[in-house]
Structure 1
Amino acid sequence: MFIVHHFCILTILCTVPILNSTAVVDVLFPESDEDEPGLILPNIDGTPPCAKGSTFCENFDPYPSEKVKEILEKHKVNKEFFGVDELQDEFGARDDPDDKFVCPSVKSTIYPKVAINRKYKWKYIVNQKEQGYAQGVQVEICRKKNEPCDMVGAPNGFITTCKQKYINRHLLSLNSYGVLEQDTFQLPSSCDCSYKVDYRQWGNFTA
């Protein structure tokens, strides 16, 4: 089974992703229809603590499972549009225990309940595995994000850093008004070693 990125519903595509890991989340439930006409799902205000510096959460306590189920059944969303990423052959080589990598990482299949989209907004992702509405995404996450690469004999005068790389993925999501939307989310895809000149050391060489 694989994920189909087009749904027979209203779709909205957004632009420019970013993560604000310092914000504190407030889940705001509407008190009445007069305050927020049509609002049926709690707003996610800021970055949820469950993100822990990432761009998604698999476990989000305020996730309105019953309301999401009700919306999916109401609109008769086809379960064939859902699925789990298949593991690509090129990832398999990294499972060799004798292989060494300068930036260690961990691979897994995630089922995000909330994630940040390309307009800096955290949104609900449709993921109800128990009802057959699953969107599983293969990710690769740095074990030592922003730490020096594990290199033997790294050249003097350079700084190495393990950098988390991301990929944009289209997933079926919900806004706070209960509208199903295809949106673009930034999810971890690989961990790469980058390097740059350490001008402090180069200054010593030229002095």
Structure 2
Amino acid sequence: MPIRSPRGRAAAYRAVWQWPLRSPVRLAFSVVVLAGLVFGLVFLGGQLGAGTSGGGSSAGGQQDERRDAAGSGISATPTPTMLPPVTPLTPDTLPVDQAPPQALEAARVWASSWVNHPEGMTPQQWIAGLRPHTTDEFLGVLAGVDPANVPAARVTGPAVAVRVAPKSVEAEVPTDTLRLSVLVVSTEAGWKVSRYDRV
């Protein structure tokens, strides 16, 4: 029959913890059982701790092996190898006397087409004369220029290189009223003008 009152539960608990005290045999038996439980818990805890520390000792063993390898002259990381010598890069600028004659001729011919704007010439005709010597990108810029506003009428001398690079040449071309600074670049279709300005 279950115990339903608090007083009955207290009496049951009191009977349980007073049971070992009623005789020396019961007390000795209780001490042996309690000692066995404590020993079992300590032994089980030691086994679990040994498994965890075993992993740590393995890591420690690896560290010891690394130390031994370092002590014996064996490096854990490979030493970098010697790289082959680097070929010198092509300079950005070259001496002006190395300007390709084709680039200078392209600058002169382009300037001759630029100053060619007789009265009555339409912008389309002027652009058509520049087209063979001009990059496609720069033609779009020149399409907005009115040839009537070009102040020069003729080229008065050869194109002279002022800056030379492996794929481009900046040249000056004299005209009857001003000097033109023309940038000529190397394209698949030959040397063509990609920019001009007044000096």
Please indicate the TM-score interval, normalised by the length of the shorter structure.
under 0.3
Structure with a larger share of its residues in strand: 1
Which fold has the larger relative contact order, with Cα–Cα distance below 8 Å and residues 6 or more apart in sequence? 1
TM-score when normalising by structure 1:
0.22
Structure with a larger share of its residues in helix: 2
TM-score when normalising by structure 2:
0.23
